Amino acid sequence: MDCITTKLNEKDQFISKIKNSDSTLAKYYHFDAMDKKHYEERLFSESNGRETALADIIERYMSDLSLDNQQVENLKALSDGAKVVIGGQQAGLFGGPLYTFHKIFSIITLSEKLSNDYDTHVVPVFWIAGEDHDFEEINHTYVFNEQKAKLQKIKYSTMTPAESSVSKYTPDKAELHKALNQFFKELKETSSSKQLLNMCRNIIDNYDGWTDMFKALLHEVFKAYGVLLIDADYKALRQLEQPLFKKMIENHQDVDDAFRQTQAQTIDSGLEQMIQTDTNVHLFIHEDNMRQLLTVKDGQFYLNKSEKVLSKQAVLDIVEKEPERFSNNVVTRPIMEEWLFNTVAFVGGPSEIKYWTELSEAFRILEVSMPIVLPRLRITYLNTRIEKLLDQYHLDKNNIIEKGVTEDKDKFIRAQASQSFIDQIKSLSEQQKSIYQSLQTEVKGNHDNEVLLSKNNEIHQNQFDYLLKRYLLNIERENDISMKHFEELSETLHPMGGLQERIWNPLQIMNDFGIDVFSPSTYPPLSYTFDHILIKP
């Protein structure tokens, strides 16, 4: 496989600002991602004292997996105080969108680079956001049917969606197998299909929880890289988090004030507002089998899905006895993550890294240092067929990845059409306009006739537009094979109006490129980059 980098003319210049050490971002990030001294400061800072307990918890969490030697070494290094590169994602169906895997590759690549550059052991850690309860975001995925040149949505269906955290949800295995079969029915059969299908079936059969299945898939793919996995909603982890939960509750008003003030400052600095939340506590509590958001009013803690009201002392008593009932929201999750780990760098998606700017002072209120914040790698896969189609129609792959095929498809259709026919329609339209302008002088001052003339002109112009559109539509139908080719290019390189990695599922790549496509022996060595990466067979 080949790996090349390319530059896209992105509308959003936030990542470029990070690359250029923008002074605006420097106000809100604690460290400059482009300054080597800041990496040294993070790498050789004093450890937080939680690393041994944390390594033990991760080892217990991963005890149902067969650990690779590199993972065992990384657990020991973590216990001994090694720093980490970390990132996370929700547990999507069958691995979720491709960018989940790209986050992990970003973590791997950056941890390897830092280990080599600074002659120290940096551990890659992936944080599974199992505390999340928005099941509708993760219960579906997409598969590309090459024969139909169409993306198909595959959904795990249930009449009782999870209202608790995803990690507490036990899916219906029969429904999962049904969704898996539907997924593979849409795929073209390759030499990897049967083995890949059996691997996924075994995961469903051998694990019960939603996030446990997700964990098992990630482990199967990335174990040789030594990646350590942890679920945010793991009970033992919650117990370790107890002191910071208490601090968050005791200082909830200061944390909220700091967040709101910083957010207002980022907006004034021209940055886009990212976090939308009405709570002033920024914590959830598990109550009545639901994950419920806490909000304080008049000194009382209210739950958003019930009528229960708790005093501050009652909330603190629950934290003392049952810390596993608490979880973080978008404001406090990054702070909790960084309190737990000795982190050099956090790797996130384009939107994720933006909302960290709004948390700068909230970190300081809770006396937690924000790590270096970096965007994940962005990757598109080009198979042989797509390359042939690009060559056949003389198309620019970068342009399609960025903007889609509409412009190129329209050019192709017009190239097949009679330019004389198109020009004559346009000429008729212009003649019609000229005649009506002359007629306007004849009826000037007569309102009814002016309205009549205007409407009649509109009808004629609409007919010319209709004639041209139907003519071009007929040309399009006459070239149905080429239209299917353009659709295939669109659904592969710019699906649903965006990047491939946001829609396509990693199982599709494993099926098309080989079940071991992501393994160290097959996947091309990556270098951390701000540019877009293209991977070809």
Q: Are residues 230 and 352 in the same domain?
A: yes
pTM of the model: 0.92
What is the tens place of the pLDDT at every residue in 352-403? 999 999 999 999 999 999 999 999 999 999 999 999 999 999 999 999 999 9
Percent of the chain with pLDDT over 90: 89
Calculate Rg over the CA atoms of the chain.
Answer: 28
Interatomic CA distance for residues 233 and 441, integer angstroms: 76
As for how many domains the chain has, the answer is: 2
Determine contact, residues 277/291, Cβ cutoff 8 Å. no
Interatomic CA distance for residues 397 and 383, integer angstroms: 12
Q: Are residues 397 and 375 in the same domain?
A: no
Residue in 108, 67, 57, 65 with CA at minimum distance from that of residue 87: 108
Q: Are residues 162 and 87 in the same domain?
A: yes
CB crowding 356-380: b at 16 or more within 10 Å, else e: bbbbbbbbebbebebbbbbbbbbbb
Least confident of 151-155, 178-182, 463-467: 463-467
Q: Is residue 465 part of a domain?
A: yes
Whether pLDDT at 159 is above 60: no
* Averaged confidence pLDDT in the chain: 95
Q: Are residues 187 and 77 in the same domain?
A: yes
- H or E element that contains 151: strand 150-155
Q: Are residues 198 and 215 in the same domain?
A: yes
Q: What is the pLDDT of residue 295?
A: 96
Work out the angle at residue 528's Cα, subtended by the Cα atoms of residues 33 and 224, and round it to the nearest 5 degrees: 125
User: Residue written as tokens 């886009």?
Assistant: 272
Residue 163 CB neighbours (<10 A): 15
Determine contact, residues 263/331, Cβ cutoff 8 Å. no
Q: Are residues 474 and 508 in the same domain?
A: no
Q: Are residues 162 and 52 in the same domain?
A: yes
What is the tens place of the pLDDT at every residue in 98-146? 999 999 999 999 999 999 999 999 999 999 999 988 888 999 999 999 9
Residue 154 is encoded by which pair of tokens?
């595959």
What is the tens place of the pLDDT at every residue in 304-314? 998 899 999 99
User: Residue written as tokens 């994720």?
Assistant: 352
How far apart, in Å, are the Cα atoms of 252 and each of 186, 246, 280, 281, 295?
49, 10, 7, 5, 10
Report, as an integer, the average pLDDT of 529-534: 95
What is the tens place of the pLDDT at every residue in 229-270? 999 999 999 999 999 999 999 999 999 999 999 999 999 999
Q: Is residue 115 part of a domain?
A: yes
What domain range is 477 assigned to? 386-498
Q: Is residue 537 part of a domain?
A: no
Interatomic CA distance for residues 131 and 167, integer angstroms: 6
Q: Is residue 251 part of a domain?
A: no
Report, as an integer, the average pLDDT of 182-201: 97
Percent of the chain with pLDDT over 70: 99
Residue in 149, 390, 165 with CA at minimum distance from that of residue 291: 165
Whether pLDDT at 2 is above 90: no
Q: Is residue 4 part of a domain?
A: no
| Distance, CA of 464 to chain centre | 45
Q: Are residues 338 and 435 in the same domain?
A: no
- HSE-CB at 17 with a 13 A cutoff on CA atoms is 19
Q: Can you give 506-533 as a three-state secondary structure string?
A: HHHHHHHHCCCCCCCCCCCCCCCCCCEE
Report which DSSP code applies to 51. H
Q: Is residue 284 part of a domain?
A: no
Q: Is residue 303 part of a domain?
A: no
Q: Are residues 374 and 390 in the same domain?
A: no
Whether pLDDT at 162 is above 80: no
Q: Are residues 366 and 443 in the same domain?
A: no
Interatomic CA distance for residues 265 and 167, integer angstroms: 36
What is the tens place of the pLDDT at every residue in 417-457? 989 999 999 999 999 999 998 898 888 889 999 899 999 99
Report, as an integer, the average pLDDT of 192-212: 97
What is the tens place of the pLDDT at every residue in 12-56? 789 999 999 999 999 999 999 999 999 999 999 999 999 999 999
Q: Is residue 298 part of a domain?
A: no
What is the tens place of the pLDDT at every residue in 320-341? 999 999 999 999 999 999 999 9
Q: Are residues 356 and 421 in the same domain?
A: no
Residue 4 is encoded by which pair of tokens?
């090349």
Residue in 488, 494, 483 with CA at minimum distance from that of residue 410: 483
Q: Are residues 192 and 50 in the same domain?
A: yes
